[in-house]
Amino acid sequence: MSKTSSFASKHNTSGKIFDFTIPEHFEYSKLIDMVEHYGMDTIHPVNALYISKGGNYGPQPVLATNKELVNIPSHLLETFKEIMADKDSVETINKGKVGFKIYRYENNKGIQHSMQWIDK
């Protein structure tokens, strides 16, 4: 095990891992709503991630930008868990060095939207 992270420091968390405090006035947005409001080429900041457990379809990844909370497609749930468990990734987000862009794809359910990470 490396000197930088012991088992205890890696697995004992206080619950809050991101420095960003989500304001009470933040509302939830879907990616399609963000495309309609900001367009496809906008790079949005990522200030925090969490997993909402209260959805109708199981756990839902959510991220906080500077303006809103964004529901992210469930196919990224495991990625969110990995990021949240990785101290370096959390630190990079806390330093404001992560963003995302929205992209469009088509599947058997029609046109869908997802997101890709951007290094800032």
The count of domains in the chain is 1
Q: Does 58 reside within a domain?
A: yes
Q: Is residue 83 part of a domain?
A: yes
pLDDT digits (tens, 9 = 90+) for 28-46: 999 999 999 999 999 999 9
> Can you give the residue range of the structural domain that contains 86?
28-119
CB 63 within 8 A of CB 70: yes
Q: Residue 14's pLDDT is what?
A: 57
Mind listing the pLDDT tens digit for each residue in 30-89? 999 999 999 999 999 999 999 998 777 789 999 999 999 999 999 999 999 999 999 999
DSSP 22: P
The answer as to whether 1 is a domain residue is no
* 10: in domain: no
97 Cβ contact list (under 8 Å, min separation 6): 119, 120
Sheet containing 48-52: which strands, arranged edge to edge?
Answer: 28-29, 69-71, 60-64, 48-52
pLDDT of residue 6: 65
Residue 98 · residue 82 · CB < 8 Å = no
User: Is 103 in contact with 40 (CB distance < 8 Å)?
Assistant: yes
Residue pointed to by tokens 């990079």: 92
How big is the CA angle at 83 (ends 93 and 56), to the nearest 5 degrees?
A: 110
Answer yes or no: is 6 within a domain: no
- Record the pTM: 0.84
Q: Tell whether the model's pLDDT for residue 13 goes beyond 60.
A: no
